[in-house]
Structure 1
Amino acid sequence: MAAPPATVLFLLLLFPAAVFPNAEENFDVRRHLSTATRYHIAKDISENSFVPSNIPDQCTPIHLNLVARHGTRAPTKKKLKELEALVSRLKVLLENVKEQKSTGIPTWLWGWKSPWTGKHKGGELIREGENELYELGIRTREQFPDLFNEDYHPDIYPIKATQVSRASASAVAFGMGLFSDRGNLGPGRHRAFAVTSESRASDIMLRFHDCCQNYKAFRKNQEPSVDKLKEPILNEVTQQLVKRWGLNFTRSDISSLWFLCKQEASLLNTTDQACALFTPSEVGLLEWADDLEVFVLKGYGNSLNYRMGVPLLEDVIQSMEQAIKAKEDGLVSGSYEMARLRFAHAETLLPFSCLIGLFLDGPEFEQILREQPLELPVKPPKKRIWRGSSVAPFAGNNMLVLYSCPANNSSRYFVQVLHNERPTPLAGCGNSDFCPFELFKERIAAPHLKHDYNALCSMELEQSKQTAPTNKFAQILSWFFPGDSKQPQNAEL
């Protein structure tokens, strides 16, 4: 093989990322797409070495609660328009450098068309998303055969979804997997089952974010601050891409190209086009920017984000108490509800994960009990627990499995939490994934359940609860502009 030209060797020594932007060993951009990450990628992401509890043999599952996000979906109608606008924008950028076509600008950019050109509607569950939920249904039945060995009845296995089609389609796909070979329909011997939904206007169980006026006002108020928070990150990446590719990208261009990268990687399994424009470190920064937005607007950034989910938490606790009563009354399996299955959105799964104290350490758990916003997720390359790719990927889910342990002296009932099918530590239960039910109820659920949904969503929010301390935004800016003394004084988070 001929030796590489001296100029290439020189560039490799000085700017390795510029020549091969994604050359870092073992880097897989599909693991860094925040909440656009596919489930089969996300469920194997683990940032810690947590060792699950050994559940005693005498403990048997008697009830399961599932809260799941819909599977991988197509871009929404709004995002389809953004991609079409990107087509026009790239034409303008390339027109300005037409004479330099051979200077290293990626060939795919010339004449690029959106893969979704011609689509007028979006947001639907795609085939990959159907498979995610179908396979999850099969695995759930295999993991808990004692819970799912009964003939289907809507009172034994109630299935609920929001009225948004991708959520109800996800419920259907899951049910087809869960009840496959249990009926007489078609070659798969499927069983017909019911999926029920509340009206969007009144679904405070699974679309509480849509029904909570105070949350809508809070989010509208905070979005400009979140944009300001992300601005220096986008500026940094923009400057690097302008240098690398010789195109006069703007911050808006980079935002659209990053969105395109996520869609190509997640929906099309294509990582050598838009994603290849970015180095791994730049992908890490853009992922972090997405995670910051999710944290502030949907997660631990403000207690309203998750405490408006109290109707869902109440429903979970109630279902467990009913299962315990049925067990204490000596009812046999199949004569009471065995599982409660719910399918919704990231805006449902994220707050619910916060309500039960996932992705926290001990001191942070005490902070949320005091309704204090947590510190923002740390900047890469530092490792952080809060990552959208693992917190709420497509088809992300929480399963709360109630166990009966009659031989245990301290507690006869325990709750195990599985996040994306992995046993997950509860900061409110001494970082155990196997928590006595009464402790789970009093220590984790009760501090939230003292709040009333109507009061949370109709009363006036105090200004101090709408914004985090002013120095937090300044801290973020200082990472990018350490010498800049002209930081905005009124930009808060």
Structure 2
Amino acid sequence: MTLYVSVTLVFLLLFYFCSCSCSSLSAAATSFATDESFDVRQHLSTVSRYGAGKETTIGSYVPSTIPEGCNPIHLNLVARHGTRSPTKKRIKELDQLAIHLDELLNEAKRGEKSLPQKIPSWLSGWQSPWKGRLKGGELISKGEDELYHLALRIRKRFPELFNEEYHPDIFSIRATQVPRASASAVAFGIGLFQGNGTLGPGMHRAFSVTSESRASDVSLRFYDTCETYKEYRKSQEPAVDKLRDPILEEIAAELVKRYQINFTRQDVASLWFLCKQEASLLDITDQACNLFTASEVELLEWTDDLELFLLKGYGKSINYHMGLPLLQDVVQSMEQAILAKEENHKPGTFEKARLRFAHAETVVPFTCLLGIFLEGSEFEQIQRDEPLSLPPKPPLPRIWRGSTVAPFGVNNMLVLYQCPGNASHSTSASKGYKREYYVQVLHNEIPVPMPGCYNTDFCSFEVFKESIVNPHLKHNFESVCTAQAKEEFPSPKPSSIASKLLKFIRSFFQRDSYGSTKINQKNDGEIIGEVSTRILIPVRTREKNMNENFFTSLKVTAILTFTVLKIFCGQS
């Protein structure tokens, strides 16, 4: 009876966890277009347009109310370029896709007078919208519009910061040497200074955008100058592929059944890329995107989010520690603004905004340095340089989404406020400040909580430095990026319901005992865990045979549990 109950319990738990965590690709194969509540443009990860991620808030967080009498005195902006066209390499990939699709369609209708009815009509004779283009990667008009209107909104939101005559020392605008970044800076500047000049009907004015060479730009292109990071990224790309490939294989099999076309894993990857480009750049959602169901789109989005997490985000501390020069530049600019206020410098003699335009590889590490998009004890983990568990697989909810963390035009703003009151009763007293200074952090123009600042978006400048900035300063760019790596870069452990079940099984078996049995499972290079089966053996010999059968059955049950998990829950 005990054996029956134990085995039944394990399999009931297995069924429950797998039903929650495993994808339901075998469900009704309907396209997302039939579901009016599903907008694929909100599921394009880092290819999402700015508007798709801008309105997304972090949970149910309610922004702080700025105290009366507090006024902004300085603004830092770190932004990604706006929506761009596909790069030259990707344009070639789409040209090859067109050729391959034609071959697949010819194969599908071989021996038939016409194509099977299940095949979407747009596939026949499809050509890439960028066919014949010799260049790519430039900012498109939608991207110009994103940055232009971002500037208008910022100026309206903080009029006290932009009410002075333009000077490059007061409004510093910096960009990388990549044309789409500098073009984004120009589009932003046109909006920011519109009406303040004498050029044309819009009363525009000229302004300067400065850049450093790619080889020496450690503030905005640290990922290009950090040798250790480049080594890490190269070592981790195969691990990312191992996480993505099973999903692509699974979806390819579904597409073959659905459309009777022999799509491969690479075809799925190319069609997903085409879907993202069509939906984001051209607002076309009824072609490539319509090949996939909503659940398939969410899985493909998740694989993109995993890559962002592992190669640019919290997956490894090198990803964000290399961005320390940018964080230090931000803090230094705020300290200079405070000094100017404390010494009563005249208006027009000190900087009021430092505006930077770069790339996702710049903004995401900076976001991680601030500790945004963390849950529970994860902030303490990153301060100990520990990698975080991977974002959970759909349909489980997750806070790390590329469409929110790093869409086109993504931006982090740090607004420095001067507040009235006697600083002698605050942390500012130790610095001898006459007034109090606070920092508000906004992600995509929305105030976001910082775990290092008591989970608020409005934080004392000294607390901000002490809790968020200083713990990172035990590192520096030189030590992080020029030292030879002394360890292999392990892959983070997946965070999934299946892995939690493995922990449960471990605790179920782990008791005070006289012996143990180990079950080791190899997962294509990924260690998924070791279960120790430790069972207290009764001393009464008359129960010996019964207990031996009981223990053997439990061992077999555990092995079967692992096998089913690997097959059905994506652990292999």
Shorter-chain TM range is over 0.9
Are the equivalent residues in 1 in contact too, given 2:74–2:337 (CA < 8 A)? yes
**What amino acid sits opposite 2:153 in the alignment?**
R
Match of 2:525 in 1: 489
> Which residue among 223, 235, 252 is the counterpart of 1:221?
235
2:471 alignment partner, SS class: helix
Cα distance change on mapping 1:31 and 1:20 into 2, 3 Å: closer
Match of 1:241 in 2: 255
The alignment status of 1:425 with 2:449, answered yes or no, reads: yes
Match of 1:50 in 2: 61
Match of 1:126 in 2: 140
> Which residue among 482, 491, 511 is the counterpart of 1:468?
491
Report the CA distance between 1:168 and its aligned residue. 0.2
In the alignment, the residues of structure 1 paired with residue 439 and residue 390 of structure 2 have an alpha-carbon distance, to the nearest angstrom, of 29
In the alignment, the residues of structure 2 paired with residue 485 and residue 81 of structure 1 have an alpha-carbon distance, to the nearest angstrom, of 41
Report the CA distance between 1:490 and its aligned residue. 5.6
Cα distance change on mapping 1:314 and 1:277 into 2, 3 Å: same
In the alignment, the residues of structure 2 paired with residue 356 and residue 459 of structure 1 have an alpha-carbon distance, to the nearest angstrom, of 24
> Which residue among 18, 31, 53 is the counterpart of 2:29?
18
Q: Which runs of 5+ in 2 are unaligned?
A: 1-25, 429-435, 503-519, 529-570
Cα distance change on mapping 1:322 and 1:282 into 2, 3 Å: same
In the alignment, the residues of structure 2 paired with residue 91 and residue 83 of structure 1 have an alpha-carbon distance, to the nearest angstrom, of 13
**More displaced stretch, 326-335 vs 96-105:** 96-105
> Which residue among 323, 335, 357 is the counterpart of 1:321?
335
> Which residue among 308, 321, 330 is the counterpart of 2:344?
330
Q: Deviations over 1:331-352 (max 9, x none)?
A: 2332210000000000000000
1:355 alignment partner, SS class: helix
Match of 1:449 in 2: 473
**More displaced stretch, 47-56 vs 305-314:** 47-56
- State the number of aligned residues: 473
> Which residue among 246, 250, 257 is the counterpart of 2:271?
257
> Which residue among 434, 440, 443 is the counterpart of 1:416?
440
Cα distance change on mapping 1:491 and 1:293 into 2, 3 Å: farther
- What is the alpha-carbon root mean square deviation over aligned residues? 2.1
Q: Deviations over 1:240-288 (max 9, x none)?
A: 1111111110000000000000000000000000000011110000000
Match of 1:369 in 2: 383
Are the equivalent residues in 2 in contact too, given 1:214–1:458 (CA < 8 A)? yes
Report the CA distance between 1:407 and its aligned residue. 2.1
Report the CA distance between 1:25 and its aligned residue. 3.8
In the alignment, the residues of structure 2 paired with residue 68 and residue 148 of structure 1 have an alpha-carbon distance, to the nearest angstrom, of 18
Report the CA distance between 1:383 and its aligned residue. 1.3
Report the CA distance between 1:371 and its aligned residue. 0.2
Q: Deviations over 1:310-339 (max 9, x none)?
A: 000000000000000011111233221000
Q: Deviations over 1:363-400 (max 9, x none)?
A: 10000000000010011111111000000100000000
Match of 2:400 in 1: 386
The alignment status of 1:33 with 2:25, answered yes or no, reads: no
1:403 alignment partner, SS class: strand
Q: Deviations over 1:89-147 (max 9, x none)?
A: 10111001123514221000000000000101100000000000000111110000000
In the alignment, the residues of structure 1 paired with residue 218 and residue 449 of structure 2 have an alpha-carbon distance, to the nearest angstrom, of 28
> Which residue among 301, 307, 318 is the counterpart of 2:321?
307
2:396 alignment partner, SS class: coil
Match of 1:4 in 2: none
Are the equivalent residues in 1 in contact too, given 2:216–2:225 (CA < 8 A)? yes
1:18 alignment partner, SS class: coil
Are the equivalent residues in 2 in contact too, given 1:226–1:293 (CA < 8 A)? yes
Are the equivalent residues in 1 in contact too, given 2:491–2:526 (CA < 8 A)? no
Match of 1:277 in 2: 291
In the alignment, the residues of structure 2 paired with residue 20 and residue 175 of structure 1 have an alpha-carbon distance, to the nearest angstrom, of 42
Cα distance change on mapping 1:19 and 1:219 into 2, 3 Å: closer
Cα distance change on mapping 1:16 and 1:384 into 2, 3 Å: closer
Are the equivalent residues in 2 in contact too, given 1:298–1:306 (CA < 8 A)? yes
Report the CA distance between 1:49 and its aligned residue. 1.0
Cα distance change on mapping 1:32 and 1:471 into 2, 3 Å: closer
In the alignment, the residues of structure 1 paired with residue 317 and residue 31 of structure 2 have an alpha-carbon distance, to the nearest angstrom, of 43
Structure number, greater radius of gyration: 2
Report the CA distance between 1:155 and its aligned residue. 0.3
Give TM-score, length-normalised by structure 2. Answer: 0.80
**What amino acid sits opposite 2:178 in the alignment?**
V
Are the equivalent residues in 2 in contact too, given 1:22–1:278 (CA < 8 A)? no
Match of 1:347 in 2: 361
In the alignment, the residues of structure 1 paired with residue 276 and residue 445 of structure 2 have an alpha-carbon distance, to the nearest angstrom, of 24
> Which residue among 79, 99, 109 is the counterpart of 1:88?
99
2:287 alignment partner, SS class: coil
**More displaced stretch, 241-250 vs 68-77:** 241-250
**What amino acid sits opposite 2:262 in the alignment?**
N
In the alignment, the residues of structure 2 paired with residue 205 and residue 258 of structure 1 have an alpha-carbon distance, to the nearest angstrom, of 33
Report the CA distance between 1:473 and its aligned residue. 11
The alignment status of 1:292 with 2:303, answered yes or no, reads: no
Report the CA distance between 1:57 and its aligned residue. 1.5
Are the equivalent residues in 1 in contact too, given 2:172–2:353 (CA < 8 A)? yes
Are the equivalent residues in 1 in contact too, given 2:199–2:205 (CA < 8 A)? yes
In the alignment, the residues of structure 2 paired with residue 160 and residue 491 of structure 1 have an alpha-carbon distance, to the nearest angstrom, of 44
Give TM-score, length-normalised by structure 1. Answer: 0.92
Are the equivalent residues in 2 in contact too, given 1:80–1:116 (CA < 8 A)? yes
Q: Percent sequence identity over matched residues?
A: 61
Are the equivalent residues in 2 in contact too, given 1:228–1:491 (CA < 8 A)? no
Are the equivalent residues in 1 in contact too, given 2:82–2:146 (CA < 8 A)? yes
- Which structure 2 residues correspond to residues 98-177 of structure 1 after superposition, within 5 A? 98=109, 99=112, 100-177=114-191
In the alignment, the residues of structure 2 paired with residue 16 and residue 299 of structure 1 have an alpha-carbon distance, to the nearest angstrom, of 33
In the alignment, the residues of structure 2 paired with residue 388 and residue 260 of structure 1 have an alpha-carbon distance, to the nearest angstrom, of 17
Cα distance change on mapping 1:486 and 1:441 into 2, 3 Å: closer
Cα distance change on mapping 1:491 and 1:263 into 2, 3 Å: farther
In the alignment, the residues of structure 2 paired with residue 124 and residue 491 of structure 1 have an alpha-carbon distance, to the nearest angstrom, of 42
Cα distance change on mapping 1:32 and 1:339 into 2, 3 Å: same
In the alignment, the residues of structure 1 paired with residue 228 and residue 527 of structure 2 have an alpha-carbon distance, to the nearest angstrom, of 21
**What amino acid sits opposite 2:106 in the alignment?**
E
**What amino acid sits opposite 2:125 in the alignment?**
G
Cα distance change on mapping 1:441 and 1:146 into 2, 3 Å: same
Are the equivalent residues in 1 in contact too, given 2:229–2:319 (CA < 8 A)? yes
1:398 alignment partner, SS class: strand
The alignment status of 1:397 with 2:411, answered yes or no, reads: yes
In the alignment, the residues of structure 2 paired with residue 467 and residue 26 of structure 1 have an alpha-carbon distance, to the nearest angstrom, of 39
In the alignment, the residues of structure 1 paired with residue 396 and residue 494 of structure 2 have an alpha-carbon distance, to the nearest angstrom, of 21
The alignment status of 1:186 with 2:200, answered yes or no, reads: yes
Match of 1:7 in 2: none
1:65 alignment partner, SS class: strand
